Structure 1
Amino acid sequence: MTASILIVDDSNSVRMAIRMALTGAGYAVTEAADGAQGLSKANGSKFDMIITDLNMPNMDGLTMIRMLRKSPAQCGTPILFLTTESEDAMKQQAKAAGATGWLVKPFVPDQLIKVVRKVLGR
C-alpha cells in the first residue's frame, strides 16, 4: 500500500520539488499552501506523514502542529519540519509541539526520501 504524505509549504516551487521527490519514490502526495489549509486537509483525510514548513502566512507550521496534536486522530502521525530555520531553540519548540523530525532547506531529495522511509518504516 502506498503511503500518503501531506506537504504544507507556502512556496509553490518548494512544494513542487518535494512532490517530485516523493512521487518519484512511490508516495502519494497532497499539497497545502499554508498551515490553515494543511490543518483542514489533515483533519479531513488520514495521512501517513505530514511535511511542513515553519514560516507561512495565515498559520505557521508550529501552530498547525500544536493544533494537530490536540486531535486523537493525529497524535501518532509523524510530522517533519522542512524549513530554512536551524536554530536549536526553534528545534526544541518544534519537538515540544510534537514534531517528529527536522530537515533544513535547501534539501537533497535523496536525503528527504531516506528520512521519510526511515520514519515510515517503508
Structure 2
Amino acid sequence: MEEKDGAGSYAGEALGEVALAEAAIGYDERGLVPVVVQQAGSGEVLMVAWANEEAIRLTFSTQTSWFWSRSRKELWNKGATSGNVQRVERVLVDCDADTLVYEVDSPGPACHTGHRSCFFRELTGE
C-alpha cells in the first residue's frame, strides 16, 4: 500500500480541483447526494447528511453547510437554530462523483442530540 504524504494524497498523486459545474455529481433518483461532514484538521467524522444541487450551491455561496432534509422536505443550514454553524473550509468529491465530504470548522455539537459527533455509539457483535 502506498503511503500518504502530509497533504493527505498518495505518493505521486496530486490533489486536483474540479469546478462544481464540471464535476457531474451523481445525484440519486431523488436528486440527492450523501455528504460526510468532517472536522477540518482532525478528520473527525461529525455527521452524514444529504444535499441537492441547491444545497451545494448555497454551501459554496455562504461558506456554511447546507443540506436537504428528507423528512421535512426542505433546505436547512446546519446550526442556524442552535448557533453551531459549520464554516466550510473545502468540499471534496469522490472518484465516482457520488459522495461529497465537507471539511468544516464546527464550533459546537454537530449532532441534534447535543453530542459533538453523530457517531457516539459503538456497535458490538453481541
Q: TM-score band, normalised by the shorter chain?
A: under 0.3
User: Of the two, which has the highest radius of gyration?
Assistant: 2
Structure that is richer in helix per residue: 1
Bigger share in strand: 2
Give the TM-score normalised by structure 1: 0.24
